[in-house]
Chains A and B, each alone.
Chain A
Amino acid sequence: MKRSYFSVAVLALVVAFLYVPIVLVFVYAFVPNGITMSFHKANGEFIGFTGRWYAQIFRGDYALKDLMQSFWLSLKVAGLATLVSCVLGTTAALALHRWRGRLQSIHHALVYTPLIMPDILIGISLLMLFVACRVDCGFWTILIAHVTFCVSYVVMTILARLQDFDDRLIEAAYDLGAGPWYTFFKVELPLLMPGIVAGGLLAFTLSIDDVVITSFVNGAGTNTFPTYVNSMVKHSKNLPSVFALSTLMLIFTCVLVGLSKLITGGQQQQKKGKTK
Chain B
Amino acid sequence: MSGPGKGKRAEWLVTMPSFAWLLLFFAAPSLIVLAFTFHGHTANGGVGEWSLSTWRELVDPDYPTIVWKTIRISFEVTFWSILLALPCAYATARMTKRWRSLLAGAIMLPFWTSFVVRVFAWKTMLHPDGWIQACYHAWLHFKCWLYAWIPGVGVPAWAHGGTGDCLIGVAGCAIDAAKTTMIDSELAVVLVSVYSFLPFAIMPIYTAAEKFDFSLLEAARDLGAKNFYAFRKIFIPGVWQGIVSAVLMVFIPAVGSYVIPQMLGGTECVLIGNKIFMRAIQNRNIPHASALATLMAVSVLVPLAAAMWWKRRQTVRDRRRLEVRTAQLMTGGEAQR
Contact = CB atoms under 8 A, between A and B. Distances in A.
Interface residues of A, number: 98
A24 B124 contact: yes
Nearest to A226: B116
Nearest to A113: B26
B62 to A, nearest CB: 18
Interface stretch (B130-138, B148-156, B315-323): B130-138
A188 B32 contact: no
Interface in B8-66: 11-12, 14-15, 17-19, 21-23, 25-30, 32-33, 36, 47
B72 interface: no
Nearest to B133: A40
B252 A118 contact: yes
A116 B91 contact: no
Main secondary structure of the interface of A (DSSP, over half): helix
Interface residues of B, number: 91
A8 B117 CA distance: 29
B296 interface: yes
Contacts of B4: 180-181, 184
Interface string A164-179: 0001001101000000
Given A4-B227, A11-B91, A124 B33 contact: yes
A262 interface: no
A63 interface: no
Contact of A128 (B1, B91, B286): B286
Interface string A24-37: 11011000000011
B88 A11 contact: yes
Given A10-B84, A119-B253, A253-B112, A131 B286 contact: yes
7 contacts: A7-B88, A39-B138, A110-B27, A120-B277, A233-B262, A242-B120, A250-B113
Interface of A: 1-4, 6-8, 10-11, 14-15, 17-22, 24-25, 27-28, 36-40, 44-46, 87-89, 91-92, 94-95, 98-99, 103-104, 106-107, 110-111, 113-114, 116-122, 124-129, 131-132, 144-145, 147-148, 151, 155, 167, 170-171, 173, 180-181, 183-184, 187-188, 205, 208-209, 211-212, 215-216, 225-226, 229-230, 232-233, 239, 242-243, 246, 249-250, 253-254
- A-B residue pairs, 8 tightest by C-beta: A118-B256, A92-B18, A125-B29, A7-B87, A21-B121, A7-B91, A129-B29, A46-B141
